[in-house]
Structure 1
Amino acid sequence: MILPAENLLSAETSPYLRQHADNPVHWRAWSSAALAEAKALDRPILLSVGYAACHWCHVMAHESFEDAETAAVMNRLYVNIKVDREERPDIDQIFMAALTATGEQGGWPLTMFLTPDARPFWGGTYFPKQNQYGRPGFIAVLKAVHAAWTDNTAAIEQNAETLSAHVARSLAPVVETGQDTPAPLADLAASIADMTDPSRGGLRGAPKFPNAPFMAALWHGWLDTGESRYRDAFLTSLRGMLNGGIYDHVGGGLCRYSTDSDWLVPHFEKMLYDNALMIRHCLWAHAETGDDLFRDRIETTVEWLAREMRLDGGGFASSLDADSAGEEGLFYTWTRTRIESVLGGDADFFFRHYKLGTAQHWEGDPVLFLADARQTENEARRLADLLARLHNARAERIRPGRDDKLLVDWNGLMIRALAEAGRYFDRPAWISMAAEAYRCVTESIEDARLPHSVLASDRLFPAMSSDYAAMINAAIALAGTPGETDYIADARDWAAMLESWYGDEASAHYLTARDSADVPFRIRGDADDAVPSATSQIVEALSRLAAATGSVDLTLRAMAAARAALGRATQQRFGQAGIVVAAATALAPRKLVIAGGSASAFLSVANRYPDPRRVDVIAPASADLGAALPDGTAIDTGPAAYLCQGQTCLPPIRTAEDLAAQLAETLRRPAA
């Protein structure tokens, strides 16, 4: 099958792919038809993987993909395939693993050369059009790779076969028999704490990433062991990023990562998932410390989310770009003169707390950061007013682009975060926002199956297993809030779909569905990225659903999935921290069951003591308790709360004060 000799991206669901629809390159999206064309032409494939908010992806596009000379070489020598890594994380993970297996540094844009049957044989990331930055020019690379392919086809095919087999073993390993041993959470937390920058937080050196899986390992390690250095490493890291330039102090929201070791100058893209995970971390930190820094960052992030990220229908967009008018950070950076022109006589007060800074290799204007977080209540109010004035002034600038596709798994992460934060801070509007996004996702279901990506009326099927896991966790979070939707019924349905399309006989799961027709092979989804891995989200989802329903079958499935995942993760703990954290929770599940009469007093207490290891179940009538509690649990005749770990529950707790004391003890803090 030979496709038309033209660019075919204009009808794709991905805004990133559509950004390339006017390139002179004859781009195809990843599909069975594009792969068949490469075979029919016996022509190697040039695979380019990126995403809409990626700065260097834009640079390479402007330099090479929009250039007629470069495009002519690409069209003559290759079948050119463009992939949005956010829409196709399965394809991205396979070929990123291939690149790193060759000893190269990973990153985006990912540029890979494949045989006509889609086996990788060489690659890199960003290539400039001409030789610079110590990198060869892209046209020279295109010609050299094609010459090597033409002159040494047999040798390259043999090497490609070896590389492909290595990647398959790495990403789709044989499932080891799970051992009945605890997850090594304490050892993992200790190792991460040892690697943490003691003054700035985050891993030592640059660049600095929020690294949500590592942050969760530190927090869960603290809760499980009481080792305060894990908590302190978590709090130092969180404060560092929230005070630094990586956080947008004027408009709210966390940027992707810091290019330096001080959390100062970010790559300015804002991703939905980073902010969802940050909200949950701030919630835990506020409950532990009472520090209003964490409350403020949640509030300003939710304001940003409502103002800039909501789509028609109530779902959330994927990201905001790093660039404005082709310049990175242009929308977000400041000079002292510009701030003084907005704030006038208030500027001196403002600069007592906020400063402007820059970093080595950053050539743009300075970045705003919070230098002195010590503020009286009056000072905090005054600073908020000044930041609002800066925000109004900044609104006149050229805005970054927004990637309007709705990704189901990322929306699931944000729905959960909003529901949990809304419960804790008693903010019904946040819970309503979460419920609307949830409804938006469920309205995209076709033939009882979730899509992975939605853009207006377009849907991308089939979903990834991470989509089902994230939405199960979102449903369970919303089940603990007021509302009429039967969230647990939805979660049960999605768990059944997860097993049907992604599970195997060994209690493990794949990232891609059984009917994914265009993947080179199905991968497990074990490795963490900026978010915990698909496998870790599945283990957590099954465990939480088992606790919410009291299902023995789901409990056994969750434990089996946890042990299978641990069996595969033992040699790669740092890349699979999410599995270790999720398995620790699944193998020692906790839940709080509130039942009988008015549950409001008990629920209010539960909301004040959030615990990521615990599932809260509301059983309004005593008849519901038989399913919610393990066999043999003593059941009280009146209103009561039941705190359980595994299959063992404490005696019924009859007063809100006693419940507060019990929950405070499990979290190692005084009762409030």
Structure 2
Amino acid sequence: MPNRLIHASSPYLLQHAHNPVDWWEWGPEALARARAEDKPIFLSVGYGACHWCHVMAHESFEDPEIAAILNDHFISIKVDREERPDIDAIYMEALMAMTGSGGWPMSMFLTPDGEPFYGGTYFPPVERYGMPSFRRVLHSIIRSWREQRDQVNRTAAAMRRNLAYTAELKPQPGDLAPEILDAAFDSLVHLYDHYDGGFGSRPKFPQAMTLAFLLRQHMRTGDPAPLAMVEHTLRQMANGGIYDQLGGGFHRYSTDERWLIPHFEKMLYDNALLAQVYLYAWQITGKSFYRRIVEETLDYVLREMTHPLGGFFSTQDADSEGEEGRFFVWTPAEIKAVLGDAEGEIICRYFGVTEQGNFEGRNVLHVPEDLDALAQKPDMRPDFLPYLADVVAMARKRLFEAREKRVKPARDEKVLAAWNGLMMRTLAEAGGALDRADYIESARRNAAFILDHMQDASGRLFRSWKDGRAQFSAYLEDYADVAEGLIALYQVTFESRWLFQAERLLEVIHQHFWDDDQGAAFHTADDHEALIVRRKDFMDNAEPSGNSAYASAAIRLARLLDRPDLLDRAEVIFRFMRHRLPAQPSAFGHLLCALDMFLRPSREIAIIGDAEDPAQRVLHQTALRPFLPDAVLAGAAPEEAETLGRRIPLLAGRALVKGRPAAYVCQNFVCHLPITEADELINLL
């Protein structure tokens, strides 16, 4: 007999629809039932690709005895954190305050009013790993609820007060100056792993936004150190097991400091942000290795994570056939069965595959040394290098084809606005820089999908779409990330509708999210369901915070549309975190990137010419090829420039030069003479 979750849209919730637990979805009905029955709430938060969420579900939520305890003494609520980031953020902050750490599955205990008083993550069904059993935790909560209610209520009330602090923050006075960026870089140097790349130890997360800031720091100062840190990290990750060596795309994180053994789920936002930073590295260095990773990652997304209508799916699971990583790991015998003994032996050496294995007796493919180093081995010869390169290319193709016959990990096919905005931006930027029309078309189809299927008649966005149904009011990051994607799409297509839609989304933020008293934006709209607190998010965790994405979009729109009011709003956001940016830079990677652009003198490029004119396309491609962290780009056909110039001042008064397409570049408030030749534009940029 299924429970209430059988009617949910979330694949994660549907995975629990046949549990014996009497699950509720989050909503007023569940809270009202808790009040009516005077029961505490057990809140379980997770997501579809979470391995330990599956483990706890199998061990505890499918157990009739544990289910009976939950059903008799609690109102049990299951939440998909990807659909409800507002709930996830509130209670994750509470969990971090209680225990000093967090993660998923998140297991929280609340009063009927939603106030947290105890929490944890994964609990085993019996005591192990030095952790209390879930049964023991439940009985302890039941006893406290019955016998120590006053203490429970005091703890819950104190936690509610603590959670309200972000709404009480105020902008900080003082200069916003490049010294903040320099201090942030100095802090990152101390956190950097000079041996394996990245930051911290195990588990190690690929902090793409922090790496993007380091690239900006290199471009701003000319210091080679931040670029070296990024290049080292990007190579270590792309050669490690965290990268799918056969199919492209990155897994969520590495369980070790060497990027070798991943948590195998693949997230759309990780691949959007990582492909973007590899793209920037290619634009700066021209090294083909980075371009290969960009294209393999984006090709993976288009091949395996794209809905026929143009939306992008959320995640690919870690598990298949009931085992974590089963789809991705190999034995020497499996490789030789596909490639034969001779070439199979070479590929085992190249991908570090051994009989003993590196993951539960099998092997996560990685590249312990480059082909150049392999060719120098005593049993090889340097002139083998072209042959080895051909063998590796052939083997990757054949092993991928063989792997496609395996049972694939499950895919969470809901489409999330914010994550789609991130991928839209990366595809647009990559399409422009790499001259990949298919990437631009995918970004265009994605933009049309969001605007056609994920907004209501009044222009308000929905958070999630699946199986033809859009639902859940969008959050700040949904509006801001989609706006960033639309701005990028405009700059590579010069189709003005995308730019004006981005401006409209920011106006929705101003109307429904902005704090007119203190500044910055709340995570939820003014007409959103009331929760125990209304938070402001500034920290860039696995994805950009809504406020940092807003600041980034606002700066670009301000320069494209001559909207100084948008710069004022962005400045307020920076002031909220002015003292924390240099002290905790890894928590504010995207906000630091936005501040870097805010502090740079603006550079505007306008290109006038018919989109079908080859000379216009050459100028446009020339402007898109390099990494220009200070630039915005506008363009129009000559007959449209004056009309569009009323809304896009960069285009006003611009025309062809002697009948030829022309580029107009303004820098440091000084405009250069129009340019009609690509080599002149290259020199100027």
TM over 0.5: yes
Alignment deviations for residues 379-417 of structure 1 (CA, whole Å, 9 cap, x no partner)? 444422211111111122111000000001001100111
Specify the SS of the correspondent of 1:504: coil
CA distance in 1, matches of 2:90, 2:356: 34
CA distance in 1, matches of 2:483, 2:269: 16
Deviation at 1:630, TM superposition (A): 7.4
TM, length-normalised to structure 1: 0.92
* Contact kept in structure 2, 1:322 and 1:328, CA below 8 Å: yes
For 2:471, the equivalent position in structure 1 comes to 460
Deviates further, 589-598 or 379-388: 589-598
For 2:377, the equivalent position in structure 1 comes to none
CA distance in 2, matches of 1:590, 1:467: 27
Q: Which amino acid aligns with 1:189?
A: F
For 2:627, the equivalent position in structure 1 comes to 610
Deviation at 1:640, TM superposition (A): 4.2
* Contact kept in structure 1, 2:371 and 2:388, CA below 8 Å: no
CA distance in 2, matches of 1:532, 1:360: 37
* Contact kept in structure 2, 1:178 and 1:560, CA below 8 Å: no
For 2:280, the equivalent position in structure 1 comes to 284
* Contact kept in structure 2, 1:594 and 1:620, CA below 8 Å: no
Deviates further, 539-548 or 355-364: 355-364
Alignment deviations for residues 168-191 of structure 1 (CA, whole Å, 9 cap, x no partner)? 21x433222554422612211221
Deviation at 1:116, TM superposition (A): 1.6
Answering whether residue 13 of structure 2 is matched by residue 17 of structure 1, we say yes
- The 5 Å alignment of 1:33-112 reads 33-112=29-108
The two structures, once aligned, show a CA RMSD in angstroms of: 2.6
Answering whether residue 445 of structure 2 is matched by residue 436 of structure 1, we say yes
Q: Which amino acid aligns with 1:605?
A: T
* Contact kept in structure 2, 1:542 and 1:555, CA below 8 Å: yes
Alignment deviations for residues 313-332 of structure 1 (CA, whole Å, 9 cap, x no partner)? 11111000000122100000
Specify the SS of the correspondent of 1:372: coil
For 2:207, the equivalent position in structure 1 comes to 211
Q: Which amino acid aligns with 2:550?
A: I
CA distance in 1, matches of 2:667, 2:53: 48
Answering whether residue 426 of structure 2 is matched by residue 417 of structure 1, we say yes
Deviates further, 240-249 or 380-389: 380-389
Shift in CA distance, 613/65, structure 1 to aligned 2, threshold 3 Å: farther
Specify the SS of the correspondent of 1:102: helix
CA distance in 2, matches of 1:478, 1:502: 25
* Contact kept in structure 2, 1:104 and 1:124, CA below 8 Å: no
Unaligned residue ranges in structure 2 (runs of 5+): 373-384, 610-614
Deviates further, 602-611 or 427-436: 602-611
Shift in CA distance, 358/350, structure 1 to aligned 2, threshold 3 Å: closer
Shift in CA distance, 303/601, structure 1 to aligned 2, threshold 3 Å: closer
CA distance in 2, matches of 1:123, 1:139: 14
Q: Which amino acid aligns with 1:455?
A: K
Answering whether residue 249 of structure 2 is matched by residue 253 of structure 1, we say yes
* Contact kept in structure 1, 2:188 and 2:585, CA below 8 Å: no
Alignment deviations for residues 587-639 of structure 1 (CA, whole Å, 9 cap, x no partner)? 43634322334533321211221224422111443635676557999999665
Alignment deviations for residues 85-105 of structure 1 (CA, whole Å, 9 cap, x no partner)? 111111111111111112342
CA distance in 1, matches of 2:285, 2:620: 21
Answering whether residue 425 of structure 2 is matched by residue 404 of structure 1, we say no
- The 5 Å alignment of 1:393-542 reads 393-444=402-453, 445-447=455-457, 448-482=459-493, 486-505=497-516, 506-542=518-554
CA distance in 2, matches of 1:653, 1:563: 39
Specify the SS of the correspondent of 1:522: coil
Specify the SS of the correspondent of 1:405: strand
Shift in CA distance, 616/483, structure 1 to aligned 2, threshold 3 Å: closer
Deviation at 1:352, TM superposition (A): 4.5
CA distance in 1, matches of 2:86, 2:2: 26
Deviation at 1:484, TM superposition (A): 5.2
For 2:381, the equivalent position in structure 1 comes to none
Shift in CA distance, 658/250, structure 1 to aligned 2, threshold 3 Å: same
Q: Which amino acid aligns with 1:656?
A: A
Identity %: 39
Q: Which amino acid aligns with 1:85?
A: R
Equivalent in 543, 547, 556 of residue 568 of structure 2: 556
- Report how many residues are paired: 658
Deviation at 1:657, TM superposition (A): 2.1
Unaligned residue ranges in structure 1 (runs of 5+): 664-672
* Contact kept in structure 2, 1:357 and 1:369, CA below 8 Å: no
Equivalent in 580, 590, 596 of residue 608 of structure 2: 596
CA distance in 1, matches of 2:228, 2:72: 57
Shift in CA distance, 387/571, structure 1 to aligned 2, threshold 3 Å: closer
* Contact kept in structure 1, 2:184 and 2:581, CA below 8 Å: no
For 2:397, the equivalent position in structure 1 comes to 388
* Contact kept in structure 2, 1:176 and 1:568, CA below 8 Å: no
Shift in CA distance, 359/111, structure 1 to aligned 2, threshold 3 Å: farther
CA distance in 2, matches of 1:361, 1:43: 47
* Contact kept in structure 2, 1:256 and 1:270, CA below 8 Å: yes
* Contact kept in structure 2, 1:476 and 1:548, CA below 8 Å: no
- The 5 Å alignment of 1:69-468 reads 69-169=65-165, 171-177=166-172, 179-182=174-177, 184-344=180-340, 345-356=342-353, 362-374=359-371, 379-444=388-453, 445-447=455-457, 448-468=459-479
Q: Which amino acid aligns with 1:373?
A: D
Alignment deviations for residues 353-393 of structure 1 (CA, whole Å, 9 cap, x no partner)? 32127999942521110123346566444422211111111
Deviation at 1:277, TM superposition (A): 0.8
Shift in CA distance, 222/388, structure 1 to aligned 2, threshold 3 Å: same
CA distance in 2, matches of 1:60, 1:173: 37
CA distance in 2, matches of 1:565, 1:211: 19
Deviates further, 132-141 or 197-206: 197-206
For 1:668, the equivalent position in structure 2 comes to none
* Contact kept in structure 1, 2:319 and 2:326, CA below 8 Å: yes
